[in-house]
Structure 1
Amino acid sequence: MVNGTIKGWGALVVLVPILTATAAQAANPLHWVRLLETRRCERCNLAEADLRQAFLRQAHLSGANLRGADLNGADLQNAFLLGADLRGADLRNANLDGANLMGARLDNARLHAAVMGDRTLIAPRWRLVRDLVTDGVGDRDLRQADLQGANLDGVDLRGVDLTEANLAGATLEAALLSDSTLAQANLAEASLFLSDLRRAQVSQANLSQASLRAADGRRSDFSDTDLSQADLALAYLDQASLNHSDLSRANLSRAELTGADLRQSNLTDANLFVANLHNAQLEGANLQGTRLEGAELSGANLSLADLQSSHLAGVRLQDADLSGVNLRRRDLHGADLSGTNLSQSDLSGANLAGANLAGANLEGTNLSRANLQGANLEGASLQGADLQGANLQQTNLLGANLAMTQLQRANFTRANLYGTNLQRITVLNTNFCEAIMPDGRIHACP
């Protein structure tokens, strides 16, 4: 028996130096010795071990920790791997004919070209994964398929119907999923890094805590989808539909969302740092606590959106629609709001010092106690706005429309009001000291 064992395990003897050099920190060397001498290593710690091309026929490895082990091309015929931990293991080209893997954990294991005969005892899920990564989808019906924890990296799933499939924790990195259907699928904690999801139907799916970093989801349908805490940094989501989706605490930093539909979406505490939301639809979206520093929102529609406690430093809002938005006491100093629609919005107490509001629509807007010192309001329409107690020192209001505005206690010191419409304004203790009036004269100081 000893001679036969040594001969049968000759390939492993060569691997011992490799263990010492690369895997000793994870695998237990004493367990290696036991494996070599007895062919039995139940519950052994062989994590991350290098077992490429190893002869492991009829080995007893039930309950063993083989997490992350390299078993590429290994001979595991008739081996006992009941309840073994093979998560993240490389089993490509391994011979598993007649092996018993019942209860084994194979999450994220690589199974391409692994040999699984009729005598191989393994959960149907893992046999399906092996078939998909080796032979492709073919005529298989993957609706409601159980692919939880499957490693499907790079698999071609274009146009495939995966409705209600369970892909929780699955790895689909660089997978081809364009034109596929993932409606109501469970993709919680799945990894779709660099995946191609163009024009995919992903409505009502669960993608909570999933990674879609740098994924291509252009023109895809993510409506009513759970993307809470998902990583969408650097993702391409131009023209994507994300309306009514839950993106709370999601990472969308530097994502491309040009023309995306985010109506009524929940973006509470989401990270949109330097994201491109040009012409995006955000009507009624919840943006409480959202990071929008440096974001591109020009031409975006944010009407009736909730921006309370959101971070807006350096945000670009040219020609955006912010009608009816609550921006009370928000810091928007230096912001570019030229051509923006802020009608009927609440900007009371807001800091707009040095902001560019040229050509903006501020009709009926509440600007009471707002700080507009040094702001540019040239050609802006403020008809019917409330400017009570506002600070407009040195503000440029050239050609602006202030008809029917409430200007009680407002400070226009040294402001430029040349050509401004001041018809039917309400003034009381209003300060026009040294201001350039509509007719060009300089107003005297008290």
Structure 2
Amino acid sequence: MALNLTTWQPPEFTRPEVGLAGAVDARGANWRDVSANNVDLRGANLCRVDLRGADLSTCQMTGADLRLALYDSSTKVPVDIDLPTSGAVGPGAKLSGVYLNSTDLRGVDLRGAVLMGAYLSGTDLSGAILDGVRLVGSDLRAAILRGAMCRGTRFATCQLDGADFRGADLTDAGLEGAESIKGADFSLTTGLGSQREILLARPYEELDCWNPLTRNTTRSSLESLP
């Protein structure tokens, strides 16, 4: 079917409240806090849609593509849709090995998610809730975790080169087994406790490297902590 440019609109402008016909393409749309009743979303392309707070419980969603869609604890979907295994991003999501490089995940609730071996280089996780997340073996080079909640987060064998942890809560976080912290900035973090001395014992090649964003070395950021 030929594309009708007089009626076409970008996928990110698609809204569920209006009458939708045919295969729905809503890639990147903001459906946050919307309530949609009996909308036919079978086979819909919902990649990267923000579904936080949305109520789609009465919709038909068989075969919908939910990869990288954002959800939270208040998102409602039909009983036959399992958000944690759908490729969507939210609490308890199973995302081991996924490519999330340079993705905007600011403020996203990822509590209990599994992200082992995930590709998160350059990803913005500012203010995200990462409590209890397993990030073992993940690539977090140049990731931004400013003000993130990382209580009990597992960073074993992670690549943390150039990561920005400023102001993050690292209580009980497992950082001692990280593959590299070269250029990572830990300024104003809380909860490091005894791990601070363990990290300061790492090779000078890691500790005396500048973070290109914050213009601070890993050593000086750790030594600035009380």
Q: Mark the runs of 5 or more structure 1 residues left unpaired by the alignment.
A: 1-173, 181-197, 200-216, 296-305, 427-446
Question: Partner amino acid for 1:402?
Answer: F
Identify the residue that residue 290 of structure 1 maps to in structure 2: 83
Identify the residue that residue 221 of structure 1 maps to in structure 2: 14
Q: In structure 2, how many angstroms separate the alpha carbons of the residues matched to 1:239 and 1:364?
A: 25
Deviations 1:272-295 (CA, angstroms, capped at 9, x unpaired):
886565xx8x59895575146556
Identify the residue that residue 193 of structure 2 maps to in structure 1: 408
Is 1:372–1:391's contact at 8 Å kept on the other side of the alignment?
Answer: yes
What secondary structure does 1:422 align onto?
Answer: helix
The count of residues paired between Structure 1 and Structure 2 equals 200
Identify the residue that residue 363 of structure 1 maps to in structure 2: 146
- When normalised by structure 1's length, the TM-score is 0.36
Correspondence 1:373 to 2:166: no
Identify the residue that residue 214 of structure 2 maps to in structure 1: none
**How far apart are residue 256 of structure 1 and its match?**
6.5
Q: In structure 2, how many angstroms separate the alpha carbons of the residues matched to 1:389 and 1:351?
A: 13
Counterparts of 1:282-431 in structure 2, within 5 Å, are 287=75, 290-291=83-84, 307-392=90-175, 393-406=177-190, 407-410=192-195, 412=198, 417-418=206-207, 419=209, 420=218, 421-426=221-226
Deviations 1:312-365 (CA, angstroms, capped at 9, x unpaired):
344332222222222222211111121112122221221010111111111122
Is 1:343–1:364's contact at 8 Å kept on the other side of the alignment?
Answer: yes
**How far apart are residue 396 of structure 1 and its match?**
1.3
Larger radius of gyration: 1
* Greater RCO (Cα-Cα under 8 Å, separation 6 or more): 2
Q: In structure 2, how many angstroms separate the alpha carbons of the residues matched to 1:179 and 1:348?
A: 47
Deviations 1:136-191 (CA, angstroms, capped at 9, x unpaired):
xxxxxxxxxxxxxxxxxxxxxxxxxxxxxxxxxxxxxx8x99867xxxxxxxxxxx
Is 1:293–1:313's contact at 8 Å kept on the other side of the alignment?
Answer: no
Percent of matched pairs sharing the same residue: 28
- When normalised by structure 2's length, the TM-score is 0.64
Q: In structure 2, how many angstroms separate the alpha carbons of the residues matched to 1:249 and 1:311?
A: 26
Q: Mark the runs of 5 or more structure 2 residues left unpaired by the alignment.
A: 77-81, 210-217
Deviations 1:3-59 (CA, angstroms, capped at 9, x unpaired):
xxxxxxxxxxxxxxxxxxxxxxxxxxxxxxxxxxxxxxxxxxxxxxxxxxxxxxxxx
Q: In structure 1, how many angstroms separate the alpha carbons of the residues matched to 2:101 and 2:25?
A: 22
Query: Could you say what the CA RMSD is over the residues aligned between the two structures, in angstroms?
Result: 4.5
Q: In structure 2, how many angstroms separate the alpha carbons of the residues matched to 1:351 and 1:318?
A: 17
Q: In structure 2, how many angstroms separate the alpha carbons of the residues matched to 1:357 and 1:276?
A: 20
Identify the residue that residue 136 of structure 1 maps to in structure 2: none
Return closer, same or farther for 1:236/1:323 CA change in 2, 3 Å cut-off.
Answer: closer
